[in-house]
Amino acid sequence: MTPGTAERLIRASEAAAALGVSLDTLRRWDRDGRIKVVRNDSNHRMVPVSEIARLTGRAEKVRTGVAMSARNLLTGTVRSVEVSGVVALVEMECGPYRLAAIITRDAAEELGLSPGVSAVATVKATSVMISRVED
């Protein structure tokens, strides 16, 4: 979380359901110090989402803030754009990853893609292939 932003909280009943326990159990865990809760202005228990993740071992669902179904977003920097006819080969560096995508020339021009420009690659695939690397 970035400084100055509040962690997302959910009602105790929602937290109990997410944890697969009764509300009474969640209240007991609060009294015993097994779960961190905060009280809202109405003195109701509110549970930070991070507590659900901690206790279940499951991370919170990915929230992209983008109105699309794709969840695999890689932010990076354009390293090269090679235009050939109606297509453009765009290479990006996204953290430790390097990726290449062929997009239309019109899209590359409309987006103003050129080396050094920040961009987001959205990966949406119907299949992913994995091969083993021999030691």
Q: State the CB neighbour count (10 A cutoff) for residue 108.
A: 21
Amino acid at 122: T
Residue linked to tokens 């765009």: 90
> Could you report the per-residue pLDDT of 76-97, keeping only the tens digit for each?
899 999 999 999 999 999 888 8
Question: How high is the mean pLDDT of the chain?
Answer: 85
Query: What's the CATH number of domain 72-123, 2.40.50.100, 3.90.1150.10, 3.40.50.720, 2.40.50.140?
Result: 2.40.50.100
Euclidean distance between CA atoms 67 and 58, whole angstroms = 24
pLDDT recorded at residue 1: 47
Class of domain 9-56: mainly alpha
Q: What is the token pair recorded at 119?
A: 């961009």
The model carries a pTM of 0.47
> Could you report the per-residue pLDDT of 34-89, keeping only the tens digit for each?
999 999 999 999 999 889 888 888 765 655 565 666 667 888 899 999 999 999 99
Is 121:101 a contact under the CB 8 Å cutoff? Answer: yes
Kindly list the domain boundaries of the chain, sorted by start residue. 9-56, 72-123
Euclidean distance between CA atoms 110 and 37, whole angstroms = 48
